[in-house]
Amino acid sequence: MIDPTIRRRLGTDAEGVLAEEFSRNHDRFWRMVDFRLDGALAGRVDPDDVLQEAWMAAVQRVEHFLENESLSLFVWLRLIVQQTLIDVQRRHLGAKKRDAYRERSIHGGQWSQNTSVSLVAKLLGTYTSPSQAAVRQERAAQLRDAIEQMDEMDREVLALRHFEELTNSEVAEVLGIQETTASNRYVRALRRLKVILDALPDFGETAG
């Protein structure tokens, strides 16, 4: 729901309001891009460049936001960042992956697969020593298989709460579910993740 004050201010100084909101949430948007960015583009795409492009897109599309009564300004801007990231990845990746991004919805399919890959990458960040690096590929395959057995919505809730650091109410709004549902799914996802990590050799000790 659009805050009436925000609506009025957008009508007179849209660019200024968007600049304030983008600045206020810059770190959270940056974490989102860093978390979701395809690993093949690490070092090639700067999250700040994605955010700059998203900012320009938001300014151009602000009228669309004002026509949509269902989203808060933060969630709408996050959606713009998400769409921009997908567009950037389409431009940089090969034709096969571009087609995959084009053909699948950002609310499922490729985006959901990317969530699994991103979760694996972040969780494997604890493997840093040479001996751990030697088993990283095997652990990644095991962890990916286990995470993909989780409910798709639970994976998204886990990613949004734990890695993007959204509030429970923001997660509910992003996913279009009730706040109590989002909270229950987060607790369930954390429990499931603990079971997964505890079942992997060395991982429970490393992560703890």
Query: What tens digit of pLDDT does each residue of 35-78 get?
Result: 999 888 888 899 999 999 999 999 999 988 888 778 899 999 99
Given a contact cutoff of 8 angstroms between Cβ atoms, the answer to whether 147 and 196 are in contact is yes
Residue 107 has pLDDT above 60, yes or no: no
Given a contact cutoff of 8 angstroms between Cβ atoms, the answer to whether 22 and 52 are in contact is no
pLDDT digits (tens, 9 = 90+) for 150-187: 889 999 999 999 889 999 999 999 999 999 999 999 99
**Which architecture, in CATH terms, is 110-207?**
Orthogonal Bundle (1.10)
pTM of structure: 0.80
Given a contact cutoff of 8 angstroms between Cβ atoms, the answer to whether 36 and 114 are in contact is yes
Closest CA to 141 of 201, 81, 66, 67: 201
> Hey, where are the domains in the chain?
4-103, 110-207
d(Cα 80, Cα 74) in Å, to the nearest integer?
10
Cβ burial of 59 (10 Å; 0-12, 13-18, 19+) is: middle
- Which residue pairs from 11-15 have beta carbons closer than 8 angstroms and sit at least 24 positions apart in sequence? 11/66, 14/59, 14/62, 15/59
Sign for the CA dihedral angle at 73, 78, 79, 85 comes to positive
Output the six-digit token pair for 168. 């429970």
Same fold for the pair 4-103 and 110-207: no
The answer as to CATH 1.10.1740 being correct for domain 4-103 is yes
